[in-house]
Structure 1
Amino acid sequence: MAETSAASPKATSKKMRRQEAEALILSAAEKVFAEAGFGGATMQLIADVAGLPKANLHYYFPTKELLYRQVVQKIFQIWLQAADIFDQADGPEEGIGAYIDAKMEISRRHADGSKVWASEVMHGAPVIQDYLETTLTDWTNGRIEVIERWIAEGRMAPIDPRHLLYMLWATTQHYADFGHQIDTLNGGSPLNDKQWEAAKSNIKTIILRGIGATE
């Protein structure tokens, strides 16, 4: 009888249930950590928001710190995927423009995750300092190399790549981290689709013209 590497339906179903449970827990944890911070959040509160018994939380995530790190890693991985555009783009107008679009969409759809990251860093990164010193540092250095190449090719003004990256992060993530302020200034309502597109267009125009990447 020929051997098969395909997983059994039972195993596949179990894997799917686990993935669904973990996604549900991470979504609830993002919301709780964003509102209460690491210190104020409890596993019981996260379980209540997820609509699961506390024991289920501990089954998938034995400690609050492990769950917190997963929440932080999740938003950072989403940001990393958006940054792949840098490596694939022909130049700064396409690369940075698409990066702004992607980061703005992340701020719109993953606001809680962004707030968790911002709060952690503002408190001195007590839980994820090692992450900043390794993964974030390596990622930043890689993007700096791409920007420096564009500068050397005369595709953009000779600016400090680090400050450009800081500006991109601050600008795009502002729409998540200070969403309540933006909603208030927008008459008490979240930005609609048209307003989000206008925001992305304006940010791209200001930044790309400022660095000499477009007319």
Structure 2
Amino acid sequence: MPDDRAPTRIQKRNRAAILEAALDVFSAQGFRGATVDQIANAAGLSKPNLLYYFPSKEAMHNALLSRLLDTWLDPLRDLDADGDPLEELLAYVHRKLQMSRDFPRESRLFANEIVQGAPRIHTALSTDLKHLVDDKAALIQHWIDLGQIARVHPYHLIFSIWSLTQHYADFDVQVRAVLGSEDPFEGAPEFIDAMYRRLLAP
């Protein structure tokens, strides 16, 4: 915003509309393919009006990514050290799958950023994300050492959960082309639950 005054209702509405439009465009076109004109058109605003709120497409992209990273890490944060290990891990799998169903554009935005080398969030990946994953991997290893879940590689377990669940968002077009009229999120939870339950059962 150009000054420190509290935004008006219209300004809040326009800012939200811009970020919603930017999410649509960035998730479909990637950062490099997206333009300010495309985002302005999608938001129903003139380009000068959009630039009043965000001076560049980088500013819009950064705003989306900073909001997204916290959302993306929340399901892993919720892994409870005091819960039943197998059920905690299965609940994490289901939370990640639910995110792919509810936030497909956000998932593709994140994937596009990673594919490009994470130029805008690399620091966060090597600090916030790494510290959280290290902490949860140590928890998983603790459960393994106690014999509460099967002996697996904690980090690769987390990677596999990410890749399997996010596939349904990032490759949505391919999944739906293969399944036809079947909703992928009807069959996926049961299949994924059974697979990880067999893998992790002690």
Alpha-carbon RMSD: 2.1
Aligned to 1:170: 163
Aligned to 1:115: 108
Structure 2 residue runs without a partner (length 5+): 1-5
Q: For residue 108 of structure 1, report the CA deviation from its aligned partner.
A: 1.1
Q: Which amino acid aligns with 2:156?
A: H
Say how many residue pairs are matched: 197
Q: Is the 8 A contact 2:77 2:132 kept in 1?
A: no
Counterpart CA distance in 2 for 1:124 and 1:65 is: 16
Q: What TM-score results when the alignment is normalised by the length of structure 2? A: 0.87
Counterpart CA distance in 2 for 1:55 and 1:143 is: 46
Counterpart CA distance in 1 for 2:173 and 2:110 is: 17
Query: How is 1:44-193 mapped onto 2 (pairs within 5 angstroms)?
Result: 44-87=37-80, 90-187=83-180, 189=181, 191=183
Q: Does 1:35 align with 2:15?
A: no
Q: For residue 46 of structure 1, report the CA deviation from its aligned partner.
A: 0.7
Q: Is the 8 A contact 1:156 1:212 kept in 2?
A: yes
Aligned to 1:25: 18
Counterpart CA distance in 2 for 1:153 and 1:197 is: 34
Q: Is the 8 A contact 2:81 2:139 kept in 1?
A: no
Candidates 177, 185, 191, aligned match of 1:196: 185
Q: Is the 8 A contact 1:85 1:98 kept in 2?
A: no
The secondary structure found in structure 1 opposite 2:129 is helix
Deviation string, structure 1 residues 53-102 (Cα, Å, up to 9, x no partner): 22333233222212112222333222222223203661222211111221
Q: Is the 8 A contact 1:34 1:115 kept in 2?
A: yes
Q: For residue 17 of structure 1, report the CA deviation from its aligned partner.
A: 4.5
Aligned in 2, Cα 1:156/1:186: closer, same or farther, shift over 3 Å?
Answer: same
Q: Which amino acid aligns with 1:124?
A: G
Q: For residue 183 of structure 1, report the CA deviation from its aligned partner.
A: 0.6
Counterpart CA distance in 2 for 1:89 and 1:43 is: 48
Structure 1 residue runs without a partner (length 5+): 1-10
Counterpart CA distance in 1 for 2:116 and 2:30 is: 10
The secondary structure found in structure 1 opposite 2:147 is coil
The secondary structure found in structure 1 opposite 2:118 is coil
Q: For residue 149 of structure 1, report the CA deviation from its aligned partner.
A: 2.1
Q: Percent identity?
A: 36
Q: What TM-score results when the alignment is normalised by the length of structure 1? A: 0.82
Q: Is the 8 A contact 1:91 1:150 kept in 2?
A: no
Aligned in 2, Cα 1:17/1:207: closer, same or farther, shift over 3 Å?
Answer: farther
The secondary structure found in structure 1 opposite 2:79 is helix
